[in-house]
């Protein structure tokens, strides 16, 4: 690289950090507001410049008042039984992800490696599953579930959540199987292993990390999912995302009063586990989305 003078490098860094700061503000600001309003801190007097006055003519004094309180977080956890919602969501996610993995991993492998017929049909069906709006499916499901007594049960919602995660799970794991170098498959095949043995003893073990990443991503999807769980759950099996929206407002006769402090406190509590998982898997997530193409045509 051509050697640059110290001054131009300083200017470059200044511009770069300036741009990074603006981008960070854009990404993080709404979340910051959420956390801060959960503590009932109102910064608007500062931003409008109206909160600052002076005492005795020269001492700057902030008259807006900042009185942080954790009462809204406590409310969310006690009155609005946030822990129970979290437990509900975890149970639903566990059932749903288990079903998706049991049915999906083998299919993902078959789509990636085994020369069976009808692969494209399965791909089409998974794609249609992704393209279908939840509403198209949830209304008939709602009718069936209420008749069958599955409405507002963990099992019912967990099955319906397959709508959301099944295609993602199969696609991502399929990509992880494709990422395994062909040499390994060929070596196993030449050693006399059957396709099933290759799957069971070689490929499956190699994609276990990928399966974990996929499962965690599916967990975040279910954790944040609103439509399916809103319609298919009631007071018993309500999930976090639904609780954040519906549990914290009061329906009066004509309109809904939304209590923003509680909403933001609950939102923060709902966001923390999701961001923790996302930060954990972000390096592998892009690889999962590469559908097994990233490493091949390099």
Instruction: Provide, rounded to whole angstroms, the least separation between the CB of residue 111 and other proteins.
Output: 8
Q: Between 35 and 77, whose beta carbon lies closer to other proteins?
A: 35
Interface with other proteins, residue 232, by CB under 8 A: no
What's the CA angle centered on 293, arms 290 and 298, to 5 degrees? 115
Q: Between 56 and 118, whose beta carbon lies closer to other proteins?
A: 118
CA 17 to chain centre: 29
DSSP bridge partners of 54: 60
Q: Between 56 and 253, whose beta carbon lies closer to other proteins?
A: 253
Site stretch for other proteins (CB under 8 A), options 14-22, 53-61, 75-83, 202-210:
14-22
Beta strands in the chain (DSSP E): 52-55, 59-62, 249-251, 256-258
Site stretch for other proteins (CB under 8 A), options 69-77, 80-88, 207-215, 251-259:
251-259
Figure out which of the listed residues 49, 65, 149, 235 binds other proteins, where binding follows CB under 8 A: 49
Other CB atoms within 10 Å distance of the CB of residue 108 = 25
Tokens linked to 199? 């799957």
Tell me which residues in 19-48 interact with other proteins (CB under 8 A).
19-20, 23-24, 26-31, 33-34, 37, 43-45, 47-48
Q: Between 56 and 131, whose beta carbon lies closer to other proteins?
A: 131
Tell me which residues in 65-84 interact with other proteins (CB under 8 A).
none
Question: Would the CA dihedral through 95, 127, 178, 110 be positive or negative?
Answer: positive
Q: Between 144 and 212, whose beta carbon lies closer to other proteins?
A: 144
Figure out which of the listed residues 10, 186, 205, 212 binds other proteins, where binding follows CB under 8 A: 186
Tokens linked to 290? 């590469």
Site stretch for other proteins (CB under 8 A), options 54-62, 67-75, 79-87, 236-244:
236-244
Tokens linked to 16? 């770069």
Interface with other proteins, residue 184, by CB under 8 A: no
Q: Between 81 and 123, whose beta carbon lies closer to other proteins?
A: 123
Q: Where are the alpha helices (DSSP H) in 180-259?
A: 182-190, 195-197, 204-206, 208-224, 227-232, 240-246
Instruction: Provide, rounded to whole angstroms, the least separation between the CB of residue 236 and other proteins.
Output: 20
- Of residues 252, 251, 222, the one with CA closest to residue 237: 222
What are the percentages of helix, strand and coil residues in the chain, rounded to 5?
Answer: 70, 5, 25
Interface with other proteins, residue 90, by CB under 8 A: no
């Amino acid at each position: 690289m051509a050697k640059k003078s110290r001054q131009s490098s300083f200017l470059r860094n200044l511009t770069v950090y300036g741009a990074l700061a603006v981008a960070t503000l854009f990404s993080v600001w709404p979340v910051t507001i959420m956390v801060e309003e959960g503590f009932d801190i109102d910064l608007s007097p500062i931003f409008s410049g109206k909160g600052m006055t002076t005492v005795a003519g020269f001492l700057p004094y902030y008259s807006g008042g900042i009185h942080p309180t954790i009462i809204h977080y406590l409310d969310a956890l006690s009155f609005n039984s946030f822990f129970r919602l979290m437990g509900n969501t975890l149970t639903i996610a566990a059932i749903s992800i288990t079903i998706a993995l049991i049915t999906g991993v083998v299919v993902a492998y078959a789509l990636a490696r085994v020369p069976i017929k009808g692969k494209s049909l399965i791909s089409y069906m998974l794609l249609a599953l992704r393209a279908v709006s939840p509403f198209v499916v949830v209304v008939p499901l709602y009718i069936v579930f209420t008749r069958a007594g599955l409405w507002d049960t963990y099992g019912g919602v967990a099955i319906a959540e397959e709508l959301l995660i099944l295609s993602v799970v199969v696609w991502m794991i399929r990509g992880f199987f494709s990422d395994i170098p062909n040499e390994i498959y060929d070596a196993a095949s030449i050693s006399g292993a059957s396709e099933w043995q290759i799957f069971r003893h070689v490929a499956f073990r190699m994609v276990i990390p990928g399966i974990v990443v996929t499962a965690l991503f599916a967990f975040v999807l279910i954790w944040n999912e609103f439509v399916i769980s809103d319609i298919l759950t009631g007071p018993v099996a309500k999930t976090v995302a639904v609780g954040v929206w519906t549990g914290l407002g009061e329906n009066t006769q004509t309109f809904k009063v939304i209590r923003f402090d509680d909403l933001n406190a609950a939102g923060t509590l709902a966001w923390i586990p999701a961001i923790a998982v996302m930060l954990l898997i972000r390096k592998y997530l892009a690889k999962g989305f590469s559908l097994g193409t990233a490493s091949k045509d390099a």
